[in-house]
Structure 1
Amino acid sequence: MFKRPIFQEVVYWGTFFFAAVIVGYLLVALVKLSSEEESAFQSATNYRDRVQLVTVLTSEGSFTIAFMRSQAPLTVKNFVKLAQSGFYDNTEFYNFRDGVFVENVESGGTATPRLEGANTRVGEIFEEWVEDVKIARGLVAMPARGESLVDSRQLLFFIEDDPATRGEGYAVFGRVIEGMDVVERIRRITPKTANTASTAPASLESIVVD
């Protein structure tokens, strides 16, 4: 029976082993690259799910909001999307009974991007089941229409505790954790409506997503 010389055997098995190592290395590299791409994709698509804080910059100073995701996860996600798009930038503050609010009155439902969880665009009403929350100082909300519709055009910042009100009509999604003195100063200098303004109202300049 024909046998290869020992040298040829060594070359043959050495080449085979080297090729196996190269193939193994390439497979590991491909798996790692795929994993990194998947992680990057997940990081990008879940970014709004991970944001915890935003900083609101106003003409009177800044304040920080922490999200209450378990309370209104879809409202939080939509707020982050709207804030990143500049939807609330350069809006004026006005007073209401328990605090101050801003409103984008020029959206007309035609701006982009689309809202999460609904076939609507920003400035329109989207759907999320709204739980009642006892109104308290520092809470941040959007107006609710009934128990399952939320209006993205307004942001309300509560300054007064109102134990008698359990959040009916509000989708509470955050709390001011720093800078309540700024919110109070805004309330002192802003009118209840634009028609009663004796001085220029405070304005929300931009929202920084951390």
Structure 2
Amino acid sequence: MIRRFSLASALPVAMLIAGAAFGQAVPAPTPPPAAPLPAATVQVTLTTSAGPIILALEKDKAPITTANFLHYVDAKRFDGTTFYRRVKVGDGFGLVQGGISQNPKLAFPPIKHEPTSQTGLSHVDGAISMAMNAPNTAQGDFFIMVGASPGMDANANQPGYAVFGHVVQGMDVVRRLLDAPTDPDKGAGMMKGQMIAAPVKILSARRTTTAITAPDTAAAPAAATP
């Protein structure tokens, strides 16, 4: 680290001693500026029937959305739910969706929308974001990106979706979900044919502190918006 010094600290030692002899105060060196603290995250492990997915949630950058997700985690309302939808828009690109599947018995009240233009986050490979019908309607359904889709971020013309974290381990599981067979007769409207034929169960969702290795969300070129 390069440390900054005041002009006085750079003067010859003899001059500093002479100045002290005449009663002149010698200013202390200016301390270096403090390094900014990294944004805090909360780790959550989704244990699924296809393997574990470890998430890092951005509680500083997206506090409302992260708190909502943790509300479901701490109340164990994700336990027994599924990853039930996948949208594949190309080889290795798309998203997988899971959560309470709009089950009113499991739902907490909707939350305020936190756009990416406010949080500084983006729909990069491995990002986790909230599913919603319109701003301020998100509850307990979420999706994980496979490949980047910046077209899902907020801009001047659309509110986008609320990213609130990213996968740090388990993208291999997410990619397998993206390739899961779908039922052509399930789903309604634009979602018809996107529902996973054999939904992958979320056995549990828990806050965890297990040490993790480097993220396995390898960068990928941008994909078209699902």
Please give the TM-score of this superposition, normalised by the length of structure 1. Answer: 0.61
1:185 deviation in Å? 1.0
The answer to whether the Cα contact below 8 Å between 2:69 and 2:140 also exists between their aligned partners in 1 is no
For 2:160, the equivalent position in structure 1 comes to 169
Q: Which residue of 1 aligns with 2:73?
A: 83
State the match for 1:66 in structure 2.
56
State the Cα RMSD in Å.
Answer: 2.7
User: Match of 1:127?
Assistant: 112
> Number of residues paired by the alignment?
149
For residue 26 of structure 1, what is the aligned residue in structure 2?
A: none
Normalising by structure 2, report the TM-score.
0.57
Partner amino acid, structure 2, of 1:185: R
- One-letter code of the match for 2:140? R
Change in Cα spacing, 1:68 to 1:106, as seen in structure 2 (3 Å) is closer
2:131 equivalent to 1:143: yes
Distance change in 2, residues 1:169/1:145 (3 Å): farther
User: What is the CA-CA distance between 1:73 and the residue it aligns to?
Assistant: 0.3
Provide closer, same or farther for how the CA distance between residues 127 and 62 of structure 1 changes in structure 2, counting only shifts above 3 A: same
Q: Structure 1: which 5+ runs fail to align?
A: 1-49, 112-121
**Structure 2 residue aligned with 1:208:** 206
8 Å CA contact 2:41–2:60 kept in 1: the answer is no
Q: Output the amino acid matched with 1:191.
A: T
Deviations 1:151-171 (A, max 9, x none): 112111111211333254311
Residue 192 of structure 1 and its aligned partner are, at CA, apart by 6.9
Q: Match for residue 174 of structure 2?
A: 183
Moved more, 71-80 or 194-203: 194-203
Q: 1:194 to 1:88 in 2, by over 3 A?
A: farther
Assess if the C-alpha contact under 8 Å between 2:68 and 2:111 holds in 1.
no
Q: 1:106 to 1:125 in 2, by over 3 A?
A: closer
**3-state SS of paired residue (2:172):** helix
Work out the CA distance in 2 between the residues paired with 1:173 and 1:142. 8
Q: What secondary structure does 1:201 align onto?
A: strand
Q: Percent identity?
A: 23
Shift, 1:140, TM fit? 0.4
Instruction: Give the 3 Å change call, closer, same or farther, for CA 82–135 of structure 1 in structure 2.
Output: same
What are the ranges of 5 or more consecutive residues in structure 2 without an aligned counterpart?
Answer: 1-39, 89-93, 187-192, 209-226
Could you tell me how far apart the structure 1 residues matched to 2:59 and 2:205 are? 18
* Structure with max Cα Rg: 1
Checking the alignment, whether the CA contact within 8 Å between 2:45 and 2:55 is kept in structure 1 is: yes
User: Runs ≥4 in structure 1, deviation > 4 angstroms?
Assistant: 144-147, 196-199
> 1:128: how far off?
4.2
Structure having the higher helix fraction is 1
Q: Which residue of 2 aligns with 1:101?
A: 97
Name the CA shift for 1:84/1:202 in 2 (closer, same or farther; >3 Å): same
Distance in 2, matches of 1:178 and 1:193, equals: 31
